[in-house]
Structure 1
Amino acid sequence: ARPTLTPGVAPWRGALLAGASVLVLDQLTKWWVVENLGSGRTIDLFWTLRLRTVFNTGAAFSQGQGLGPIFAVLILVVVALLVRLGAKADDPIARICVGGIVGGAFGNLADRAFRSGDGFFGGGVVDFVDFQWWPVFNVADSVIVVGGLLIVLRGMRIDATR
């Protein structure tokens, strides 16, 4: 007999898979960057795109440097609200987006918690995708932004059809 998920978990399979995938991919890419680039080496890829290690102790786009513990608490609150709102969503794509956003948030929280830094959640988030004309970011940041945009756009489309 094939194992089945409980009815409350079944609709979240895609979200759980998305979240776990984003978390693993985010942490693997950060591990690779830290191991291979350290804090001084840069790899130029094409046009203005390069890989460069930055340890961000602030928020998005390196704002609020040193406020990692405050951002960590805010992120946990936002994640809890997202999961609560996502639980009410009938749209499986929205649930997958929520899963990806949560996975990305936990990827960045893991950096704050486990990388060396000043105290509780004081570690720097590893950012490495550098276009040189945009703030440096990582896989988690990308998924958080794209997932949030998809949720907003799907919400607008759904509202427009009512």
Structure 2
Amino acid sequence: MQAARGTPLNEHEPEHPRRPHLVLFAVVAVAALALDVVSKIVVAAHLPLTRPTPVRLLGGAIYLDQVRNSGAAFSFGTGFTVVLTVVALAVVVVIVRTARRLFSAGWSVALALVLGGALGNLADRLFRSPGVGRGHVVDWISVFGPYGQKWPIFNLADAAITCGAVLAAVLALLGVDFDGRRTRRPSPDDDA
């Protein structure tokens, strides 16, 4: 098959120019952010910090128990809230700059989940007490036991970041690049 100007068509290139998955990226990031923000507003309004007994759901598989976290996930880095705020801002900038190179739907979803989660927790750090850049994140989901006894208490932003990171790891292990193509891994037969 020949192209209009007499040059052969590359079978591996699409006939139409490829576009990055910016709409998919934006929709997933905004959805993750919106779900996190709305859930935190509801939790802050209806699940007081001083509640003596957390809400038990699904036979004790999930407990709703609001806490305020000054650290990162799993309360790592408590006392370094300002540093974590700066790191979150850097992550947001890097992901947004990378978005225009995302021709893979999988990578678009993975990085959008991380971005939406990072923005959700960053919003808490910027706008919640005790002050701008030092705000404590609202965590409210405890699994397999109340008060984070079995697993650290988390929120929907943390869940989005974790799911995005797992998806990114799977894509990287499968050799899927940002452009959607698979990186060919050398096989033992290549040396022969």
| TM norm. shorter chain > 0.5 | yes
Which gives a bigger RCO, structure 1 or 2 (Cα 8 Å, sep 6+)? 1
Deviation of 1:20 (Å)? 0.7
- 2:113 alignment counterpart: 100
Mapped to 2, the partners of 1:103 and 1:148 lie a distance apart of 12
Deviation of 1:155 (Å)? 1.7
SS in 2 for 1:25: helix
Instruction: Map Cα deviations across residues 78-119 of structure 1 (whole Å, 9 max, x no partner).
Output: 2222333443333122112211211110110101111111x4
Identify unmatched segments of 5+ residues in structure 2.
1-16, 144-148, 177-181, 185-192
Greater share of residues in helix: 1
Mapped to 1, the partners of 2:173 and 2:97 lie a distance apart of 20
Q: Is the 8 A contact 1:66 1:122 kept in 2?
A: no
Mapped to 2, the partners of 1:19 and 1:68 lie a distance apart of 23
Instruction: Map Cα deviations across residues 3-33 of structure 1 (whole Å, 9 max, x no partner).
Output: xxxx998620011011111111001111111
- 1:154 alignment counterpart: 171
- 1:87 alignment counterpart: 100
| Aligned AA (1:98) | L
- 2:138 alignment counterpart: 126
Mapped to 2, the partners of 1:80 and 1:28 lie a distance apart of 23
Q: Is the 8 A contact 2:141 2:155 kept in 1?
A: yes
Aligned residues, how many?
155
SS in 2 for 1:65: coil
| RMSD value, Cα | 2.2
| Aligned AA (1:17) | V
- 1:3 alignment counterpart: none
- 2:162 alignment counterpart: 145
| Aligned AA (1:81) | V
| Aligned AA (1:142) | A
Moved more, 73-82 or 122-131: 73-82
Q: Does 1:37 align with 2:50?
A: no
Structure 1 vs Structure 2: percent identity of aligned residues? 35
Moved more, 89-98 or 51-60: 89-98
Mapped to 2, the partners of 1:11 and 1:95 lie a distance apart of 6
Give the TM-score of the pair, scaled to structure 2.
0.73
SS in 2 for 1:81: helix
